[in-house]
Chain A
Amino acid sequence: MTLQAPFKPREQFRPSPIYRLAPFRFGRFDERRYVATNDVGEYVILEREELVALCRRRLTPTSPLYRALKVRHFLFDEDSDCALDLLALKYRTRAERVAAFTGLHIFVVTLRCDHSCHYCQVSRQTEDRAAFDMTPAHADRALDLVFRSPSPQIKIEFQGGEPLLNFALIRHIVHRAEAINAHHRKDLRFVIATNLSRLTDEMLKFCKDHDIYFSTSLDGPEELHNTHRPLRGGNSYAATLEGIRRVREQLGPHHVSALMTTTPRSLGQIEAILEEYVRHGFHSAFLRSLSPYGFAVRTSLVRKYDVADWLDFYRRGLAYILDLNRRGYPFREEYTAIVLQKMFSPQGASYVDLQSPAGIGIAAIIYNYDGGVYASDEGRMLAEMGDFAFRLGHLDTDSYETMMTSDALLGPLEDSLLESSPMCSDCPYLPFCGADPVFHRATQGDAVGHKAFSAFCKKQTGVVHHILALLEDNPEARSILMSWV
């Protein structure tokens, strides 16, 4: 009987000097460094000489860089038995979301609003015009479409205008959705995007009974918030804070979140804005730039600052937030957290605006107050400006099949896929980015857009670059950022 050796001989573990490149993208990171990424979101920062050495197969197998590149699937050698399987598995995991299909269903229950925000992107109407309310018949028809989606998670978001002005319809939709879901048994959630000014105890009780979440706007200190968000005959800031307090009291602290919109007036006040969030017990903020739709365009507000201004605002905000964490107050910036999810989570991030293929229709869909169905929230905003490119159909006349296979959806989806878009296809930030056909249609007149002129591209590459720089060059910031994943 021959005994088998328990271990392989030493020479079996000697690194092979022969390696092959796996697919990757690269681009300049700063004056001396490059960033390389692959399709599954792994990244490496390296010097140009190292990049050239990698491509020309001059790397030494015993070097730390070789090992880092091998572990992250940028190269493979004779030892990499399962490299292909691993890469395929990781890719499939990141792409699972596409097959899951539409998870976010937005109901615009009314276009009426009691606020007259200067940056309003949805072209709200005055309160007394019931012609801008969704009808129960349209809501029922929309619910039929909601449950055609194969997604195991369904989130129904109520938007406006101010959705609480048509709370009777919200009540109707929630009841009916729950009844339908008794059969489908999906993970069904509800959220109301509201300014909270019309919140009554009766509404709160209903929301508590049905586990409904609230998303609101808090733009900063009282003067800034009220300047941005005038409330006829009232004080929007006071109404919002009172609403937040009541939701927390009745439903719990995590049932209400807030986000802010950056106007030229906000740019110099990031620290005060974040202090406001801390003072009111929030542990996160979403630093949003203006979108080129609705009143933001009509009032020319969107042209009063550029991407460089917003990026400076964002970087100062993130520095302030990191400092808050250092001082022991846990706080995160939501947009950064989304990008970090895309970098480090096996599934990527579910944020519909940063997907490829784009999230339009297949991640989120909009049922407008008038029965129109749109591929995205921004698509309906564009329609209010007279461009119906992203209108999929109407609840009265079009079937689910017609709308989900319409040219209005499939055309921009195919055209704007990052993997085949000029400049995006070889951009190292592709795995952390997304296609935004509506933005490019609004700003450049076509769904793909020329990325050398794209504010979306400049913003996204600026954000990702800053996060990567913090991760690479600032160990303390890295440990805080990694806790957000």
Chain B
Amino acid sequence: MTEEALFAFEGDAIRVTLDLRVYRLTAIKKAAYRVADRCTAMLQSPSEHELPVLFTFKAGASKESAITSVRAFYQELLDQELREEVAEETGPMRALILAHAFSKTDLIRRE
């Protein structure tokens, strides 16, 4: 199947459906933010496990460049999902390291 067939074109826009059991909403939002210079991702109301996303592109963008942008979004989404995993596991430790780093200074006001 060609890439073009994988993405549903609606005029100049591309509609995809993301499975929320695979990708966290936070990761989807962060990936959308990161590719904002290439396309605008409009997140729509989710159904139980599915989130429809409509991508629009700059005026005059070719079909090929539109597909490249959506592909970049998917690649970014994988990275963001992995980042969420790492952050979930290491978040408390980051807070602990920072607290430990400044524990012997007089910068922390003790109530």
Asked if A99 meets B105 with Cβ closer than 8 Å, knowing A28-B79, A88-B100, the reply is: yes
Whether the pair A452, B35 counts as a contact (CB closer than 8 A) is yes
Chain A minimum-CB-distance residue to B36: A452
Q: How many of chain B's residues touch chain A, expressed as a range?
A: 20 to 34
Whether the pair B83, A26 counts as a contact (CB closer than 8 A) is yes
Asked if A84 meets B34 with Cβ closer than 8 Å, knowing A52-B82, A55-B85, the reply is: no
B22 interface contact, C-beta 8 A: no
- Complex CA distance for A25 and B101, rounded to whole angstroms: 19
SS of B interface (majority): helix
A23 interface contact, C-beta 8 A: yes
Q: Mark A1-45, 1 if CB is under 8 A from B, else 0.
A: 000000000000000000011111111100000000001000000
A484 interface contact, C-beta 8 A: no
Determine the chain A residues whose CB is within 8 A of the CB of B107 once the complex forms. Answer: 99
- Complex CA distance for A88 and B75, rounded to whole angstroms: 33
B15 to chain A, nearest CB (A): 22
- Which of A23, A52, A92, A422 is B90 in contact with, Cβ under 8 Å? A23
- Complex CA distance for A91 and B94, rounded to whole angstroms: 11
Interface centre among A20, A27, A92, A95 (most CB of B within 10 A): A92
Number of interface residues of A (CB under 8 A): 28
Could you give 30 example pairs across A and B, Cβ below 8 Å? A20-B89, A21-B86, A22-B90, A22-B93, A23-B90, A23-B91, A23-B94, A24-B86, A24-B90, A25-B83, A26-B79, A26-B83, A26-B86, A27-B79, A28-B75, A55-B82, A55-B85, A84-B100, A88-B97, A88-B100, A88-B101, A92-B102, A92-B105, A99-B105, A422-B33, A423-B33, A426-B30, A450-B33, A452-B34, A453-B37
B residues whose Cβ falls under 8 Å from a Cβ of A: 30, 33-37, 75, 79-80, 82-83, 85-87, 89-91, 93-94, 96-98, 100-103, 105, 107
A residues whose Cβ falls under 8 Å from a Cβ of B: 20-28, 39, 51-52, 55, 84-85, 87-89, 91-92, 95, 99, 422-423, 426, 450, 452-453
